[in-house]
């Protein structure tokens, strides 16, 4: 894919100008402020690596801040719809993404989601994710636990949609694998202490604990368990893979086990991995612009959408013009039927029954290695 490193005019401006019929308008809502900024800002950064034209049509990208708030994400989504967006992208966190999905469904605009939003059956008709769901990643956690003799596990996670998705997956997967859930402890994204919850985990004496948090917010429960002398295995979900987690957890991050997509460590992937070359291109492009070690999976999710758009836009243009309901429908229908799209994680293959799209090659286990990450097992 040939990427141009100039951002379309008006990337960060919230304008209400009319969209020219020949232009393709993409509305992006993400967390540029608030507790989710550590994952939302890489989303914005990765958009600067998108092409400015696809199939001869100018790509106009508008980015709005939702601060991780579902209500604001809804307002942003409705604004995009009113201004004639051809598709919408967002948000950086799960609760805001779920709210945005309702707007996408009502307005009949395709939503590309960088968040693993769980939606009721049939409610994701207009929503496609470029990350996998909690059950998929929980399978990876359970496989590692079984391999290493874990017989009991505690849940220490967010009390929101993201945390709930992993809690339900753990409740489903752990007992089936002969692993007991020793206790369930919840906390909010805005909490500044989880002393009580960490003591509850310790009291249940689990072989392992699964921490479900996001970015910088995953450092607090990690440090809480280490500072209280916990010696068992500490697992994390993909949202913990961020420079802010490593920076804030510091030496206490050592030994954490994080199930993740492979795009964080492309240099360590075997040559046969289908996503290796695209992941290497992402890392080289992103770190050339934002500095060594700045890569994040959140940026990679958005980078992957450029591959998706370059695949489906030329086909959709054969059916309708940008700025029309017919074009929006053509984008959706094309993505559902176009077949494999190779991205940084592997090969996306959406179908009418599956708007997640990845196979088993999109999951690896990582552990902190100083200020970086390395593959384990």
**pLDDT higher than threshold 90 for residue 121:** no
Question: Confidence class of residue 1 from pLDDT cuts 50, 70 and 90?
Answer: very low
- When pLDDT is cut at 50, 70 and 90, the band that residue 61 belongs to is very high
* Cα–Cα dist 99/76, whole Å: 11
The closest alpha carbon to 212, from 260, 258, 166, belongs to 166
Distance CA 240, CA 237 (A): 6
- Length of the chain measured in residues: 377
- Based on the domain organization, do 156 and 108 belong to the same domain? no
Counted domains in the chain:
2
Cβ atoms within 10 A of the Cβ of 315, count?
A: 16
Lowest mean pLDDT among 132-141, 203-212, 352-361: 352-361
Mean pLDDT across 339-345: 95
The pTM assigned to this predicted structure is: 0.82
What the block records as the tokens of 102 is: 């309702």
39 falls in which pLDDT band (50, 70, 90)? confident
- Mean pLDDT computed over every residue of the chain: 92
Q: Is 315 helix (H, G, I), strand (E, B) or coil?
A: helix
For the stretch 164-191, pLDDT in tens is 999 999 999 999 999 999 999 999 998 9
Distances from the Cα of 43 to the Cαs of 12, 111, 286, 342, in angstroms?
12, 15, 11, 20
Residue 191 belongs to domain with CATH number = 3.40.50.2300
Range of the domain at 251: 134-260
- Could you say which of 260, 289, 323 is where a domain stops? 260
Judge whether 374 lies within some domain. no
Residue 306 lies in a domain: yes
Stretch (H or E) spanning 182: strand 180-187
| pLDDT value of residue 16 | 37
């Amino acid at each position: 894919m040939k990427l141009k490193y100039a951002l379309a005019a008006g990337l960060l401006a919230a304008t209400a100008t009319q969209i020219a019929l020949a232009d393709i308008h993409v509305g992006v809502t993400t967390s540029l402020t608030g507790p989710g900024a550590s994952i939302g800002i890489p989303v914005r950064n990765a958009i600067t690596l998108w092409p400015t034209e696809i199939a001869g049509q100018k790509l106009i990208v508008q980015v709005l801040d939702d601060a991780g708030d579902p209500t604001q994400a809804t307002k942003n989504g409705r604004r995009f719809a009113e201004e004639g967006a051809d598709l919408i992208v967002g948000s950086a966190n799960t609760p805001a993404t779920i709210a945005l999905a309702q707007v996408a469904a009502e307005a009949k605009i395709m939503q590309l989601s960088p968040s693993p939003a769980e939606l009721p059956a049939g409610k994701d008709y207009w929503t496609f994710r470029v990350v996998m769901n909690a059950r998929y990643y929980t399978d990876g956690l359970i496989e590692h636990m079984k391999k290493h003799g874990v017989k009991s596990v505690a849940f220490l996670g967010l009390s929101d949609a993201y945390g709930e998705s992993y809690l339900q997956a753990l409740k489903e997967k752990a007992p089936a694998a002969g692993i007991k859930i020793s206790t369930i402890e919840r906390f909010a994204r805005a909490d500044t202490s989880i002393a009580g919850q960490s003591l509850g985990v310790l009291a249940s004496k689990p072989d392992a604990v699964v921490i479900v948090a996001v970015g910088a917010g995953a450092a607090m429960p990690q440090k809480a368990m280490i500072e209280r002398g916990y010696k068992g295995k500490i697992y994390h979900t993909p949202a913990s893979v961020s420079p802010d987690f490593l920076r804030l957890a510091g030496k206490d991050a050592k030994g954490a086990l994080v199930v993740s997509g492979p795009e964080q460590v492309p240099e360590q992937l075997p040559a046969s991995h289908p996503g290796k070359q695209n992941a290497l291109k992402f890392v080289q492009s992103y770190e050339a612009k934002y500095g060594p070690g700045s890569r994040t999976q959140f940026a990679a999710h958005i980078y992957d959408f450029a591959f998706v758009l370059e695949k489906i836009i030329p086909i959709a243009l054969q059916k309708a013009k940008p700025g029309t309901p017919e074009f929006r429908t053509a984008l959706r229908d094309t993505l559902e039927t176009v077949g494999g799209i190779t991205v940084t994680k592997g090969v996306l293959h959406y179908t009418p029954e599956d708007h997640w799209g990845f196979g088993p090659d999109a999951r690896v286990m990582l552990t902190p290695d100083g200020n970086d990450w390395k593959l384990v097992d």
